[in-house]
Amino acid sequence: MKHIVPLFLLFAIWVAGTSAAQGEDEWKRVIGPRVWAFPKDHGAHPEYRTEWWYFTGNLKDDAGSRYGYQLTFFRQGIRREVPSLASTWDIRDLYLAHFAITDVSRGRFRFLERISRAGPGLAGAQTDGMDVWVLNWSVRMKRSAIFLEASGFDMELELELTPGKPLVLHGLNGVSKKGPAEGQASYYTSFTNLKTQGFLKTHSGGSRMVAKGRSWFDHEFGSNQLSPDQKGWDWFSLHLSDGRDMMIYFLRLKDGSIEPTSSGTLVERDGTARHLGPKDILISVLDQWKSPQSGGVYPSRWRIQIPSAGIDLLVTPLVADQELNTEVSTGVIYWEGIVAGQGTSRGRKVSCEGYVELTGYAGSMGGLF
Check residue 25 and give its pLDDT.
54
Fold of 7-22+40-359: AttH-like fold (2.40.370)
Of the candidates 140, 139, 245, the residue with the CA atom closest to the CA atom of residue 191: 245
pLDDT in tens, 242-297: 999 999 999 999 988 888 888 999 999 999 999 999 999 999 999 999 999 999 99
pLDDT in tens, 56-70: 999 999 999 999 999
Q: How far apart are CA 228 and CA 369, in angstroms?
A: 10
Check residue 41 and give its pLDDT.
98
Q: How far apart are CA 127 and CA 135, in angstroms?
A: 18
Of the candidates 58, 99, 53, the residue with the CA atom closest to the CA atom of residue 76: 53
In contact, 65 and 101? CB cutoff 8 Å: no
Whether this prediction's pTM lies above 0.85 is answered by yes
In contact, 21 and 31? CB cutoff 8 Å: no
Helices and strands (H, E) in the chain, number of each type? 1, 23
pLDDT in tens, 75-127: 999 987 766 556 666 788 999 999 999 999 999 999 999 999 998 899 999 99
CB atoms within 10 A of CB 369: 21
Q: How far apart are CA 222 and CA 181, in angstroms?
A: 13
pLDDT in tens, 12-35: 443 444 344 333 458 999 999 999
Q: How far apart are CA 209 and CA 214, in angstroms?
A: 16
Look over the chain and give the mean of its residue pLDDT values, rounded to a whole number. Answer: 89
Check residue 127 and give its pLDDT.
97
Work out the angle at residue 12's Cα, subtended by the Cα atoms of residues 11 and 15, and round it to the nearest 5 degrees.
Answer: 90
Phi then psi for residue 238, to 5 deg, are -130, 135
Q: How far apart are CA 229 and CA 79, in angstroms?
A: 25
Buried b (16+ CB within 10 A) or exposed e, 168-181: bbbbeebbbbbbee
What is the C-alpha radius of gyration for the chain, rounded to an integer number of angstroms? 20
Check residue 328 and give its pLDDT.
74
Domain ranges of the chain: 7-22+40-359
Of the candidates 99, 323, 273, 303, the residue with the CA atom closest to the CA atom of residue 201: 99
Of the candidates 76, 206, 94, the residue with the CA atom closest to the CA atom of residue 151: 206
CB atoms within 10 A of CB 151: 14
Type of residue found at 185: A
Indicate whether 202 pLDDT > 60: yes
CB atoms within 10 A of CB 289: 19
Check residue 344 and give its pLDDT.
98
Of the candidates 319, 281, 271, 313, the residue with the CA atom closest to the CA atom of residue 298: 319
Of the candidates 111, 36, 35, 113, the residue with the CA atom closest to the CA atom of residue 73: 113
CB atoms within 10 A of CB 263: 23
In contact, 57 and 51? CB cutoff 8 Å: no
Mean pLDDT computed over 167-183: 91
Mean pLDDT computed over 217-221: 97
Check residue 13 and give its pLDDT.
43
